[in-house]
Every structure is written in structure tokens, then in C-alpha cells.
Amino acid sequence: MKDAVRLFKALGDPTRLRIVKLLERGELCVCQLTAALGMGQSRISRHLAILKDAGLIEDRRAGKWVHYRLCRRDAARSICSCYAGLDGEDAIKADQRAVRRAKPLASCPGHCPGQRP
């Protein structure tokens, strides 16, 4: 039961829901998430740690950069599919637009997929 409580607590925060919705479209690094959500790196990292602890996301290191994606586990995917109705929310649409046009930060030049160095 502890795992279920941790999972639902993780999804009970609007910022973490926004992160999950962004990661549904593919892997992103922290600099892309900070640019899309307009929040500081430490705040985003804390939310990512909670999502990772709940088993919803996993990370991949590429040198000193960390890229995040949704877990491939069926349970995590089916839980996230419950939130498909959020796709029409203005905040979710704005986040998706922001991540597409985000410019790389100095700390992540050329290492973010789809971004120019």
C-alpha cells in the first residue's frame, strides 16, 4: 500500500503532472523542463526526484547531463494514461509549446535533442 500512496502523492501536485505530460512526448533534460515550466533547476530536480521515487520516471546520464523519460513499466504507463484528459488544458498546451521553442541554456549547449548549440 505504501507504493500506491507514494504514486498518488507524486501525481497529486500540478507541477509534477505537467512534467509527466511533457515526458509523455519523449525524453527531456532538466534544462528543457526548466525552460518550459519557467522554474528553477533545483525546484524541477526536486519534483523529478519525487516522480522517480514513485516509479513513474527514470533517468539516463549522458556525461554530466541527465535526461528523463517515463518508465516503460506497464503500471506507470497505465496510471499516466488516466491523465490523458489533461491534454486539452491550457497550461499543458503552453508547456508543450514552450519546450518546443526552448533555447539551450549555457550549461547544456548542444546536448538537448532538437536544440541548436
Q: Convert the pLDDT of each residue in 40-68 to its tens digit.
A: 999 999 999 999 998 899 999 988 888 99
For residue 86, give the nearest of 22, 5, 34, 32 by alpha carbon: 22
**pTM, to two decimals:** 0.72
Task: Report CA 102 to chain centroid distance, whole Å.
Answer: 14
Domain membership of residue 117 (yes or no) is: no
Mean pLDDT throughout 26-47?
A: 92
Between 104 and 31, whose confidence is greater? Answer: 31
47 burial level (CB within 10 Å; 0-12, 13-18, 19+): buried
Residue range of the domain that includes 75? 2-100
Q: For residue 95, what is the domain's CATH number?
A: 1.10.10.10
Tally of domains in the chain: 1
Assigned C-alpha cell, 63 = 556525461
pLDDT at 68: 94
Q: What is the CA radius of gyration of the chain?
A: 14
